[in-house]
């Protein structure tokens, strides 16, 4: 979801810069802000007991994160980490909720966005329960391609590394590398050097 930067600033948002690898918030902390990425990439993740990272989502420029938790009283169930140097707009929770209550059209846009996020979670939950790694990777790529401008065969430039795909699908990176090669051999996707075209 993209909320106009001027509207956010008018309602009290401030810019905050985060260097790569810095925590924006940690699992268990209390949600106090609406966050919108101005530049950079943010990763939402958790860690299993064995230390293996599980990526819940990768947020890029213009997208928001953490907003669904502003409507309840639960703590963050994940970490938000700057994967690259980031500039983020932060709007306090009370100002965010006031802004939505004063702008019904914006509130409905937020509901549509949250609905899309739930759809993504359902799709990924189902595909991650599958055994076939092709299905897991294809479901992930289908979702992100559907939300991009390129809809023709091989028009979507996948913005994720093999490691990020592994973290998003719960697969081992070695499995992702082999599976992507097989998907290229089967013409499901195309490789251009390290770039994946889907």
The pLDDT value given to residue 109? 93
The pLDDT value given to residue 161? 94
Across the range 76-84, mean pLDDT stands at 96
The b/e string for 64-101 (b: 16+ C-beta within 10 A; e otherwise) is bbbbebbeeeeebebbbbbbeebebbbbbbebbeebbe
The pair of three-digit structure tokens given for residue 72, joined into one six-digit string = 């309840």
The pLDDT value given to residue 51? 84
Q: CA–CA distance from 102 to each of 96, 98, 108, 114, 134 (Å)?
A: 10, 6, 12, 19, 46
pLDDT at 104 over 80: yes
pLDDT per position as a tens digit, 43-74: 999 988 888 888 889 999 989 999 999 999 99
The residues that bridge with 43 in the sheet, in sequence order, are 58, 81
Among residues 157, 169, 190, 180, the alpha carbon closest in space to that of 60 is found at 157
- Looking up tokens 């599980």, which residue turns up? 54
Say how far apart CA 147 and CA 91 lie, in whole Å: 25
pLDDT per position as a tens digit, 127-139: 778 889 999 999 9
Across the range 4-28, mean pLDDT stands at 97
Among residues 159, 170, 163, 164, the alpha carbon closest in space to that of 133 is found at 170
pLDDT per position as a tens digit, 134-159: 999 999 999 889 878 778 999 999 99
List CB contacts of 124: < 8 A, sequence separation 6 or more. Answer: 139, 140, 143, 168, 169
The pLDDT value given to residue 194? 94
- Give the orientation angle of helix 93-102 with respect to helix 104-128, to 10 degrees: 120
Task: Kindly indicate the confidence band of residue 94, based on its pLDDT and cuts at 50, 70 and 90.
Answer: very high
Global pTM? 0.77
The pLDDT value given to residue 49? 85
List CB contacts of 126: < 8 A, sequence separation 6 or more. Answer: 139
SS3 at position 67: helix
DSSP per-residue string spanning 77-133? SSEEEESS-EEEEEEEHHHHHHHHHH-HHHHHHHHHHHHHHHHHHHHHHHHHT-S-H
Task: Kindly indicate the confidence band of residue 88, based on its pLDDT and cuts at 50, 70 and 90.
Answer: very high
Q: Are the C-beta atoms of residues 75 and 111 closer than 8 Å to each other?
A: no
The pLDDT value given to residue 151? 83
Across the range 163-175, mean pLDDT stands at 93
């Amino acid at each position: 979801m993209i909320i106009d930067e001027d509207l956010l600033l008018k309602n009290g948002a401030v810019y905050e810069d985060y260097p790569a690898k810095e925590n924006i918030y940690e699992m268990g902390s209390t949600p106090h802000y609406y966050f919108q990425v101005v530049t950079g990439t943010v990763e939402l993740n958790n860690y299993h007991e064995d230390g293996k990272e599980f990526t819940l989502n990768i947020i890029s420029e213009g997208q928001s994160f953490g907003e669904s938790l502003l409507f309840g009283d639960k703590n963050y169930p994940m970490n938000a980490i700057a994967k690259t140097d980031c500039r983020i707009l932060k709007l306090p929770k009370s100002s965010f909720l006031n802004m939505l209550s004063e702008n019904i059209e914006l509130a409905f846009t937020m509901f549509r966005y949250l609905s899309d996020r739930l759809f993504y979670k359902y799709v990924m939950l189902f595909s991650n329960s599958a055994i076939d790694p092709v299905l897991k990777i294809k479901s992930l790529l289908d979702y992100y391609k559907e939300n991009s401008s390129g809809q023709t065969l091989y028009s979507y430039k996948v913005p994720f590394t093999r490691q990020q795909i592994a973290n998003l699908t719960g697969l081992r990176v070695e499995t992702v590398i082999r599976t992507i090669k097989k998907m290229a051999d089967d013409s499901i996707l195309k490789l251009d050097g390290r770039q994946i075209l889907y």
